[in-house]
Amino acid sequence: MALEKKDVEAIAHLARVAIDEADVEDYAESLSNILGLADQLNSVDTDGVTPMAHPMHMVQRLRADEVSETNQREHLQEHAPAVERGLFLVPQVID
Amino acid sequence: MAWEIVIGCEIHVQLATKSKIFSGASTAYGAEPNTQACAVDLGLPGVLPVFNADALAKAVKFGLAIDAEIGMRSVFDRKNYFYPDLPKGYQISQMDYPIVGVGEIDVDMEDGTTKRIGITRAHLEEDAGKSLHEDFQGMTGIDLNRAGTPLLEIVSDPDLRSSKEAAAYMRKIHSLVRYLEISDGNMQEGSFRCDANVSIRPVGQKEFGTRAEIKNINSFRFVEKAIDHEVERQIAVIESGGRVVQETRLYDPDKDETRSMRSKEEANDYRYFPDPDLLPVEIDDAYVEAIRKTLPELPDARRQRFESEYSLPEYDAGLLTASRELADYFETVVKQSGAEAKICANWVMGELSAALNRDTIGIEASPVNAENFAGLVKRIADDTISGNTAKKVFEAMWAGEGSADKVIDAKGLKQISDSGALEGIIDEVMSNNSQQVENYRNAEPDKRGKMIGFFMGQVMKATQGKANPGEVTKLLNEKLNG
């Protein structure tokens, strides 16, 4: 499956990645190669094989339902670019 | 053209755990912004989510209650999208292997019929934070206290055929999660909210029409109004030659309309994939059976028991079991009053429910608790007070004047049932109204029934309403006809 220029732009947008217009062709080719590899994998007969959810053959450990965290707002907000009345401030989003 | 309405619901139920689904931060409602958002909830680099055992137990409990397939192996996936209230850039959810699979639930309709609604699945996921769009110098404020709160998303089949059915379904699920004590179901606080997928098709057509999704409906009243409005909109679009577009719409209760949420994210491409931070969750039969043992008596079973054990009409039993709290209240009243169940039902559904509705408070906050209410019903049943007096006593109890016995004593409302005392009063009334007595005795027997009311009124007046009406009727009949 070959990706076109517009596919690359759509993927970049979904991932919020800024890309150079000049590099789009290269990305299209590289990504198409990866998809080519996936196509090759697709040709293997996997009937009756349970899809792998995780490379480690272990199961999830559970945590008891207990509140173990304390309020560390001040500490955690030290790195935030903008804070007001305890809220993180981000560029305006409106639906 | 005649249209058929097709609705499927996605209900988000906040599970009543103390801590979040993947972190040890508190889920308590109403805290100061970001004081309950830890490094995991903030999606800081290097953190690892660890799954909350109680969220799992509560989800399985729901699955068992709707007789669903339980996911013995369930997998968490990442649902990718960008929004600032979702700091990781993805929501941890379940896609291909949810914790609860296919199930069903019987929903009671207004006309007394029951309709079986299919449940497609129910999966666990984390809630997002909250965006505040007030003015912060042209910026948006983000509170991540809610981020990571455990949700169970219950997805129905497209089996609902009217807004009323959708509301009835929503009520049933609400009642069930409260019975199961897996959620507080508080709709004002967002613990229970519904998205409705609505489409229409010509009656008889097999294929579904294009659907629109109405987001975040948080009241039973709004679900009906929002769907009715959306159906009208879709009919208008199609009948004027247009086409319904698949989109997300938001219901505005103030304007009673739905409007399109124009998302910049045109393609809803969530690129789900298994979350590498979380291993598959595996449970065994012993685990499931242990949860099954914790199931309470469920609403349908309880309603049937109320019909058989208490000989209540279907209507009464349905009403009294609509919420676990009301059903518990009723059963306490029956046990403690020793009165006939139907009398208890009448008073709980009558005076008590009316007062609760009038003051818009829930049964759990009733100023008259079940024990005290039982005390009142007991005095009705043993003829200490008449039904009319009981209403006055109840009002006094509601206003905080104490137990039924205390109010009856304090106000001297004890009913006069002693036939000796009543005979004396009746004799006096008859001698003071000899003309009426003569008229009565000369009247045709079929007219006498009405005339006796006059004497009853006089006796009640003389006793300030405290005479036992049954006893008075009996004595009056004896004396007037004798």
Mean pLDDT over B181-194 rounds to 93
Q: Do B141 and A95 touch (CB under 8 A)?
A: no
Which residues in chain B touch residue A95, judged by CB atoms under 8 angstroms apart? 250, 261-263
Residue B264: per-residue pLDDT: 43
Q: Which stretches in chain A have pLDDT values below 50?
A: none
Query: Considering only CA atoms, which of B318, B282, B40 is closest in space to residue B172?
Result: B318
Which position has the higher pLDDT, B103 or B426?
B103
CB burial of A40-71 (b: ≥16 within 10 Å; e: otherwise) equals eeeeeeeeeeeeebbeeeeebebbebebebeb
User: What residues contact B172, with CB distance under 8 A and at least 6 apart?
Assistant: B105, B106, B107, B108, B299
> Residue A27 belongs to what H/E stretch?
helix A24-42
Q: Residue B100: how many CB atoms within 10 A of its CB?
A: 29
Residue B91 near chain A (CB below 8 Å):
no
Residue B72 near chain A (CB below 8 Å):
no
Give chain A's domain count: 1
Tell me: do B243 and B342 sit in the same domain: no
For B255, the token pair is: 């304007």
Tell me: do B160 and B37 sit in the same domain: yes
Can you tell me the distance from the alpha carbon of B230 to that of B246, in angstroms, rounded to the nearest whole number? 13
Can you tell me the distance from the alpha carbon of B11 to that of B62, in angstroms, rounded to the nearest whole number? 13
User: What residues contact B470, with CB distance under 8 A and at least 6 apart?
Assistant: B383
CATH number at residue A27: 1.10.20
Task: Compute the mean pLDDT over every residue in chain B, rounded to the nearest whole number.
Answer: 92
Q: Do A94 and B55 touch (CB under 8 A)?
A: no
Residue A24 domain flag? yes
Tell me: do B390 and B435 sit in the same domain: no
Q: Which of B34-43, B201-210, B423-432 has the lowest mean pLDDT?
A: B423-432
Residue A21 domain flag? yes
Tell me: do B207 and B320 sit in the same domain: no
Residue B423: per-residue pLDDT: 86
Read off the pLDDT of residues B411-431 as tens digits, 9 standing for 90 and up: 888 877 777 888 888 888 888
Q: Do A14 and B271 touch (CB under 8 A)?
A: yes
Query: Considering only CA atoms, which of B254, B188, B261, B260 is closest in space to residue B219?
Result: B188
Tell me: do B169 and B190 sit in the same domain: yes
Residue B268: per-residue pLDDT: 65
Is residue B152 within 8 Å of residue B1, measured between CB atoms?
A: no
Can you tell me the distance from the alpha carbon of B412 to that of B396, in angstroms, rounded to the nearest whole number? 13
- Give the residue from chain A lying closest to B263, CA to CA: A95
Mean pLDDT over B437-459 rounds to 85
Query: Considering only CA atoms, which of B204, B94, B237 is closest in space to residue B246?
Result: B237
Of the pLDDT bands very low, low, confident and very high (cuts 50, 70, 90), residue B263 is low
Residue B18: per-residue pLDDT: 98
Residue A68 domain flag? no
Residue A84 domain flag? no
Tell me: do B105 and B175 sit in the same domain: yes
Is residue A13 within 8 Å of residue A5, measured between CB atoms?
A: no
pLDDT greater than 60 at residue B267: no
Read off the pLDDT of residues B380-411 as tens digits, 9 standing for 90 and up: 998 888 888 899 999 999 999 999 999 988 88
Q: Can you give the residue range of the structural domain that contains B348?
A: 304-401
CATH number at residue B445: 1.10.10.410
Q: Can you give the residue range of the structural domain that contains A25?
A: 5-42
DSSP E strands in chain A: the ranges are 62-63, 83-84, 87-91
Q: Which of B240-244, B266-270, B457-461, B463-467 has the lowest mean pLDDT?
A: B266-270
Is residue B214 within 8 Å of residue B230, measured between CB atoms?
A: yes
Residue B296 domain flag? no
Of the pLDDT bands very low, low, confident and very high (cuts 50, 70, 90), residue B262 is low
Tell me: do B134 and B173 sit in the same domain: yes
Query: Helix and strand tally (H, E) in chain B?
Result: 16, 16
Residue B265: per-residue pLDDT: 47
Residue B398: per-residue pLDDT: 96
Q: Residue B426: how many CB atoms within 10 A of its CB?
A: 23
Residue B48 near chain A (CB below 8 Å):
no
For B326, the token pair is: 């009301």
Mean pLDDT over B351-359 rounds to 94
- List the end-to-end C-alpha distance of chain A, in Å, as a whole number: 35
Give chain B's domain count: 3
Can you tell me the distance from the alpha carbon of B406 to that of B113, in angstroms, rounded to the nearest whole number? 44
Tell me: do B170 and B226 sit in the same domain: yes
Q: From chain A, which residues contact B within 8 Å (Cβ)?
A: 10, 14, 16, 51, 53-54, 56, 58-69, 71-73, 76-77, 82, 84-95
Residue A95: per-residue pLDDT: 52
Is residue A30 within 8 Å of residue A11, measured between CB atoms?
A: no
Can you tell me the distance from the alpha carbon of A51 to that of B73, in angstroms, rounded to the nearest whole number? 12
Read off the pLDDT of residues B328-343 as tens digits, 9 standing for 90 and up: 999 999 999 999 999 9
Residue A14 domain flag? yes
Tell me: do B382 and B430 sit in the same domain: no
Which residues in chain B touch residue A53, judged by CB atoms under 8 angstroms apart? 75, 97, 274, 279-280
